[in-house]
Structure 1
């Protein structure tokens, strides 16, 4: 994908960033309203099967148990059509609310309205639309900040040198567009994006993309990869092509990535704990349903740039199940 995709991605980032960077409003609490009393049943629609999605689900399940929440789960596997079917199925089960790690925010709009009409509010994780009036709430990862942190690391590392950058995105839509758009927009003028292709959050696909990328641009200096599973596959492809000097920046902060920062396979990552996101989602849904005034409607998962220098103090990405 050519560099001109900056304009399209900037539009996506603009439409979502006002939410992600804005303040968190408190869900209205009315002493005259009762909220949901007694047992709560929640549906969780996951968006994929990457390490992030797996860890997110573990955290949702673990926190649901600790709050005595009955939980039903489904996985959309990066397919917007499957997400629609999963949401409709869980609404039919009579859940009190839905937690959704969406495949595509724009495609979700109709389902938010449908769920609201059925009296089943939706709570989103990771990303949310600019207009949140139809939502119960959300726990968002500030993906604009994540992308910018990686770009700022490249700016500092490159100094004033003219450098080339390749982008291996996730799946088009929702999180990946915002993340990569923020990254490319924040790069300095001396950093040129010479390749931009989706890896679909699939290591095998990312390996293929990286192999083609380095074949076309053997002068590549940096690669931004939308998650660490793909980043490791890209590292293998670059190394096999004799391009060990390509510096990779990525996202998540897993234990494997922290080890790779220390041995030089990766140069930087941005920690954003999937466990924190999942735990906050369940806790906030319970609070918002009960209207106890203890939760923000729009909450944020903390993010942090991690390099070799501070890898030993990075937060845990996915603590083991109890």
Structure 2
């Protein structure tokens, strides 16, 4: 479901995607979302609403997030236009400009870089188009319609907490394979580093750019320079699988890896002992909440402007508690 980013795609709506979906319940930490049936504009009453979704990249997370937004829009009977910024802030700004020219009623944006948001929001506001954010939010929320926020710093803290408990006071060396500089990765790493106990030291940190090939090379260099590495924190599971391969090839199978996402492959890797822990960040929950909250806010109905996606630290001991990741 990855889509090109040079122009907004044709609308995804009731006329294009009429296949039924199985019932779904996604719940965690006291938050429940129920998604079922087929989109029906006559029942949903949103057939006149036009939403834009500007995605930030083509990782598994972004692809599943787009699928969730598309599914929720279909079920609510609204028209959806999509574009992808491919991790480039300039493309994000251009996509927002193009979306506003399509006269959407609101824009859902998965940001590339939180530092670029002021320009993005200003571009949309100049066209009287409300902006709703997914995953992250600026400190000043007065200029946005709302957001569904993933507490990325808390996700990092949860992984750091697992390392602290696992190390149990023993001095440990840690490597960090970050994502691309900007919004998500910076927040994840900051939360992780701040929550590490005094006996755990980050001895190496390299960007993996959310690209498994780059992450593999970063991990291979890291283990050569620090053969005594005990743990690695990796900014998403796609990169974590590549990091595991690099460590294993170097004979460092004992390095324990903690990461973020909660995909089916990630949970299987935990079950197999290849990964030690992951923090769930369900794009299915994120995208579903975003569409529903946008529609409620546009209609003046009760909804949290700044809502939170629940996080779960998953290990071998609680695999059954992970929410569904992808539609």
Indicate the SS of the match to 1:220: coil
Counterpart check, 1:129 vs 2:147 = no
Alignment match, 1:301: 309
Partner deviation per Cα, 1:73-117 (whole Å, 9 max, x = no partner): 000011111111111100111111100000011112112022112
Q: Is the 8 A contact 2:93 2:123 kept in 1?
A: no
Distance 1:111 1:251, change over 3 A: same
The alpha-carbon deviation at position 313 of structure 1 amounts to 3.1
For structure 2, the residue ranges without an aligned partner over 5 or more in a row are 1-44
Indicate the SS of the match to 2:246: helix
Q: Superposition pairs for residues 99-118 of structure 1, below 5 Å? A: 99-118=108-127
The alpha-carbon deviation at position 180 of structure 1 amounts to 0.6
Q: Is the 8 A contact 2:261 2:280 kept in 1?
A: yes
Counterpart check, 1:67 vs 2:38 = no
Q: In the alignment, which of 172, 176, 182 is matched to residue 185 of structure 2?
A: 176
Alignment match, 2:321: 313
TM-score using structure 1 length: 0.86
Q: Which moved more, 1:252-261 or 1:56-65?
A: 252-261
Indicate the SS of the match to 2:170: coil
Alignment match, 2:93: 84
Indicate the SS of the match to 2:319: helix
Q: Superposition pairs for residues 162-173 of structure 1, below 5 Å? A: 162-173=171-182
Alignment match, 1:3: none
Indicate the SS of the match to 1:56: helix
Counterpart check, 1:247 vs 2:256 = yes
Q: Give the root-mean-square deviation of aligned CA atoms.
A: 1.2
More helix by proportion, 1 or 2?
1
In the aligned structure 1, how far is the partner of 2:212 from the partner of 2:47?
Answer: 44
The alpha-carbon deviation at position 259 of structure 1 amounts to 1.0
Indicate the SS of the match to 1:182: helix
Alignment match, 2:40: none
In the aligned structure 2, how far is the partner of 1:81 from the partner of 1:151?
Answer: 33
Indicate the SS of the match to 2:238: helix
Q: In the alignment, which of 54, 62, 72 is matched to residue 53 of structure 1?
A: 62
User: Larger RCO: Structure 1 or Structure 2 (Cα < 8 Å, ≥ 6 residues apart)?
Assistant: 1
Alignment match, 1:32: none
Distance 1:312 1:81, change over 3 A: same
Alignment match, 2:39: none
Which 4+ runs in 1 deviate beyond 3 A? none
The alpha-carbon deviation at position 277 of structure 1 amounts to 0.2
The alpha-carbon deviation at position 38 of structure 1 amounts to 6.2
TM-score using structure 2 length: 0.85
In the aligned structure 1, how far is the partner of 2:103 from the partner of 2:312?
Answer: 38
Q: Is the 8 A contact 1:37 1:290 kept in 2?
A: no
In the aligned structure 1, how far is the partner of 2:284 from the partner of 2:207?
Answer: 25
Alignment match, 2:288: 279
Indicate the SS of the match to 2:72: helix
Alignment match, 1:153: 162
In the aligned structure 1, how far is the partner of 2:229 from the partner of 2:260?
Answer: 20
Indicate the SS of the match to 2:301: coil
Alignment match, 2:210: 201
Aligned residue-pair number: 283
Counterpart check, 1:189 vs 2:198 = yes
In the aligned structure 1, how far is the partner of 2:210 from the partner of 2:57?
Answer: 9
Indicate the SS of the match to 2:313: strand
Q: Is the 8 A contact 1:74 1:86 kept in 2?
A: yes
Q: Is the 8 A contact 2:46 2:76 kept in 1?
A: no
The alpha-carbon deviation at position 314 of structure 1 amounts to 1.8
